[in-house]
């Protein structure tokens, strides 16, 4: 089996590679990302690593 025969085309004509979808909730993604940044920064500060 070749790589081209193993892929199933999507409606857009491109093979999915397992990455994030383009039609996801971008706002929620940004909020959760920044929340993670703040939590890590607080943890680093509390542990005295910085």
Q: How many residues does the chain have?
A: 50
pLDDT band at residue 39 under the 50/70/90 scheme: very high
The helix/strand/coil state of 16 is coil
Q: What are 10's two structure tokens?
A: 């999507």
Q: How far is residue 15 from each of residues 5, 9, 11, 12, measured CA to CA in Å?
A: 11, 5, 9, 9
pLDDT band at residue 44 under the 50/70/90 scheme: very high
Write down the pLDDT at residue 12.
66
């Amino acid at each position: 089996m070749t790589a081209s025969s193993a892929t199933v085309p999507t409606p857009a004509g491109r093979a999915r590679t397992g990455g994030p979808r383009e039609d996801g909730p971008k706002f929620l993604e940004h909020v959760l990302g920044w929340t993670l940044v703040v939590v890590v920064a607080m943890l680093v500060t509390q542990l005295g690593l910085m």
